[in-house]
Amino acid sequence: MSELKQNFFWDEVVEKVQNNHKSKQPFFSMAPMEAVTDTVFRRVVAKAAAPDVYYTEFTNASSMVHPKAKFSVQGRLAVAEDEQQPVAQIWGSRPKEIAGSIEILADMGYQAVDINMGCPDGTVIKNSSGSDLIRHPDLAEKIIVAAQSGSLPVSVKTRLGFYKPEEFREWLPIILRHQVAVLTVHLRSRKEMSKAPAHYEHIDEILAMRDEIAPNTLIQINGDIKTRAQGIALVQEHPGIDGIMIGRGIFENPYAFEKQPRQHTLEESIALLNLQLDLFDEVSETVTTKHFEALKRYFKIYLRGFAHASALRQMLMDTHTTTEVREILTRELAKVYAAVADDKHIYRDNAAASADMALSVNKQK
Ligand SMILES: Cc1cc2nc3c(=O)[nH]c(=O)nc-3n(C[C@H](O)[C@H](O)[C@H](O)COP(=O)(O)O)c2cc1C
């Protein structure tokens, strides 16, 4: 397959972003996040402020090709009809299974695949996958070659190194030599997990490597970037960057990808939470049983920075169904709104300073 067709998906991403701007702009993506970036949350983020690219949670290639296990990954790979097609992220260590899983993805309608070579999780490493591939570049290369024999453009997401960030000088050229469509670099070593600050000081060297070895490969930078504005500032400092990936920033601000940032009302936040509840029910009924407990991690995204927020979250932690959540929201939000003069137009952040009011509202019950 020609390189042109292979990279059609990414060419289109870049073109779409460029069409709206005179100067070079990066594309923005929401990072793949296990147990977070499923079809439900991707659609909520699309409603709040859409990135240019979405990724699935990572999915194990062996499970995809195994006749008995393949149904267990269906939930991860589900894409709604009205949703923008995400990039499928996969992980594994067996080149044959990687190639097989990519054919399955292509049949499902996926247009691009990303291979995880950065996951620090112990179980993934024990399976010679994720960041372990940084220590085993021969296997990493075999995986990339097998993936590229398929019909989808192949990208790789990795870290700077396993033990030390400086390993990137040997590691990244190995990937670049395979002319992957996109190389996403999470600017930390495996050992640093997500604790050390991202190493922006290495960006220029990475871009120079790309220019020399694989000028057509897009470089996407990831790590500690919380908003579109921060991403744009980073690209202004390092104009060779093609894409910016945001992960945990979305937990602090569901509007992280907003082009013209503005304040958002509590009412808007609650509408996002309600959308999440509705889509959770829809997917549970039509695709795969979703575990209610997993929903609880999202409450803090929407219910923060206003009076009563933490008390309200506390109440929601004791719920067991979406119906219970909706009941509590209806009851408690009426009190929150009644307690502030400006009714539903209280702002998430503005109201944060009066967080103590949460307790007083609660005590008035
Ligand atoms: C809850 C969670 C789940 C994650 N799952 C994945 C994953 O499935 N695949 C992956 O490549 N990275 C995963 N990551 C890493 C993120 O994609 C990203 O590289 C990391 O969070 C650094 O970016 P940030 O500082 O913008 O959050 C995960 C991170 C978090 C916080």
What's the mean pLDDT in 3-10? 71
d(CA 303, CA 311): 10
Residue nearest to atom 6 of ligand 1 (CA): 33
**357, 308 Cβ separation under 8 angstroms:** yes
Q: How far is the CA of 33 from the centre of ligand 1 (A)?
A: 5
Atom of ligand 1 nearest to the CA of 58: 8
Whether the predicted pLDDT of 363 surpasses 60: no
Please report the pLDDT score of residue 72 as a whole number.
Answer: 72
Whole-number Å distance, alpha carbon 357 to ligand 1 midpoint, is 34
Mean pLDDT check: name the lowest of 161-170, 208-217, 241-250, 295-304: 295-304
Catalytic residues: 119
This prediction has a pTM of 0.93
Residue 359 clears pLDDT 90, i.e. is over it: no
Structure token digits, residue 252: 């602090």
Closest CA to 113 of 83, 131, 92, 139: 92
- Kindly state the greatest CA–CA separation across the chain: 68
pLDDT in tens, 161-206: 999 999 999 999 999 999 999 999 999 999 999 989 999 999 999 9
Over residues 310-323, the mean pLDDT reads 95
Q: How far apart are the C-alpha atoms of 286 and 297, rounded to whole Å?
A: 22
Q: Confirm whether residue 89 is marked as ligand binding.
A: yes
Q: Whose CA is nearest to atom 30 of ligand 1?
A: 33
Find out whether 167 and 195 touch, Cβ atoms under 8 Å. no
DSSP-derived pairing of the beta strands 27-30 and 243-246: parallel
Residues near ligand 1 (Cβ within 6 A): 31-34, 36, 57-58, 89, 116, 118-119, 157, 186, 194, 222-225, 246-249
248 labeled part of a ligand binding site: yes
Average per-residue pLDDT in the chain?
90
Ligand 1 atom closest to Cα of residue 249: 26
Protein residue closest via CA to atom 21 of ligand 1: 247
> What average pLDDT does this structure show over 242-258?
97
The model's confidence at residue 6, banded by pLDDT at 50, 70 and 90, is: low
* Interval 92-116 mean pLDDT: 97
Model confidence at 356, pLDDT cuts 50, 70, 90, reads very low
Atom 15 of ligand 1, residue of closest alpha carbon: 33
Query: Any binding-site annotation on 164?
Result: no
Q: Which domains does the chain have, with CATH numbers?
A: 3-252 (3.20.20.70), 266-363 (no CATH)
pLDDT of res. 355: 32
